[in-house]
Amino acid sequence: MTQDTLQVTEAAPAAQGIQSFELRHPQGLPLQPFSAGSHIRVKTPSGMLRQYSLCNDPAETDRYRIAVKREDSGRGGSASMVDQLQPGDLLEVGLPENQFALDDRASRFLLIAGGIGITPMLSMAYQLNSEGRPYQLIYLSRDAQSTAFLEELRGPEFAGKVKVHHDQGDPARALDLWPLLEKPGSTNGLHLYCCGPTGLMDAVRDMSGHWPASAVHFESFGVDTRAQSDDQPFEVCIKSSGQRLSVPVGSSILQVLRDDGIAVPSSCESGTCGSCKTGLLEGQPDHRDLVLMEDEKASHIMVCVSRGQGSLLLDL
């Protein structure tokens, strides 16, 4: 990634288990502009690369703001951010990229966020406010303590546009989204944006299945890239060289390819951006991404998160 070195100028809790970081140029120079829905890649103190959505107003050119949820069962990237980063520290940061942009063809927006998924939606709300385009933001969380940026969202600029719902961890108290999704958008200019954990994404995907695909937009922070209990080692074969590489439990195809010096484009490393889409010529894949369409799954694989059984032949 094209990198810049930015300084942490503020580190503060945004909610229980979520830390907000403000990043600025060490010399006070303007930062690269971004649009709502953009993310940056950060080299965490643990050395791992992680993708974080920018959650401040895109009109601000002097700072980036990100929020990090500490994942106790993760691989250490988020924990190192929350536990170690202090004001004054320097971070290697990639330039903003946007694969979750607001559609210029839309005239109205329904934004549904769950948990840490509020981060791109908050930036969207700021941009839509400045553009005067109507929207409704639904923010679902367990309770007030775990709701990031709650006081900010209660500000006058969001009045009448934001609904925050707490279910207290009780499925019976979950907000019924069907009345919002029953009538498909697009024909009336309405576009749907959803970001959050896998359960919310799956529910919204099911309820919006009758919407035109062009009017529905997803980004997820809930893809589980950890080893699952039934994972098994498998092999990948490289068509161009005939190499056979073993992919152990706990490692991704992408990691194994990199370790062997085989370059594959990548960005999110969470199965949500599509950068590492790789041709699949033979074998039985275990798809774990949120990108591939059904008709692509027989011929492609996202090597950052997906696995296989036995042996996979990759078009590399």
> In sequence order, which residues have a C-beta less than 8 Å from that of residue 216 and are 6 or more positions away?
185, 191, 192, 194, 208
Q: Report the distance separating Cα 255 and Cα 259, nearest Å.
A: 6
**142 CB neighbour count, 10 Å cutoff:** 15
Give me the pLDDT at residue 23, please.
Answer: 97
Helices (H), the chain: 77-84, 118-131, 150-153, 178-181, 198-207, 253-259
Give the pair of three-digit tokens for residue 278.
């790789």
Residue 170: what pLDDT? 87
Task: Give the per-residue pLDDT at 223.
Answer: 45
Q: Give me the pLDDT at residue 268, please.
A: 62
What per-residue confidence (pLDDT) applies to 226?
A: 45
pLDDT at 82: 93
List average pLDDT for each run of 10 residues in the chain, which is 316 residues long.
82 94 95 94 85 95 94 76 94 90 93 94 97 96 94 95 93 92 82 89 89 85 50 93 91 89 78 83 89 86 92 96
Note the pLDDT of residue 96: 92
What pLDDT score does 13 carry?
A: 94
Identify the structural domains of the chain with CATH numbers, from first to last. 3-98 (2.40.30.10), 108-220 (3.40.50.80), 234-314 (3.10.20.30)
Q: Is the pTM of this model over 0.75?
A: no
- DSSP-derived letter for residue 272 is S
